[in-house]
Amino acid sequence: MVGWLADAPVARKLTLLVLLGCTVAGLVLAVGVTGLGQVNGRAASIYHRNLGPVTELIGVNSAALSIRRTWPASAWPAARSRSPRSWNGSRPATNASTAT
């Protein structure tokens, strides 16, 4: 087998070398494209399993905030009982005679 390659002209040897290189490059390209397709599928799976619910929660939070901004403060039960504007941060005074 080596005899025919040794006796072949240089142009044929270079042509075979270029064809062999193109074949190897094509195989590497095929493996790379297949691998990237698998990576893309995994990334989409991670997004839909983990980040999809987070984006839904962001939407719910945005909707709740928009409702809260449009309703008057008196409509919220927490605002009627203890408003942050009226609370000064101190504790209510305790009766010293009841403490033992």
Q: Measured between alpha carbons, how far is 46 from 40 in angstroms, rounded to an integer? A: 10
Helix, strand, or coil here: 7?
Answer: helix
pTM: 0.45
For residue 73, give the nearest of 64, 83, 62 by alpha carbon.
83
Contact criterion met (CB below 8 Å) for 27 and 19? no
pLDDT tens, the chain, 100 aa long: 567 888 889 999 999 999 999 999 999 999 999 999 999 999 888 888 887 788 888 888 888 888 777 776 666 665 555 555 555 555 555 555 555 5
- Spatial separation of the C-alpha atoms in residues 76 and 61, rounded to whole Å: 17
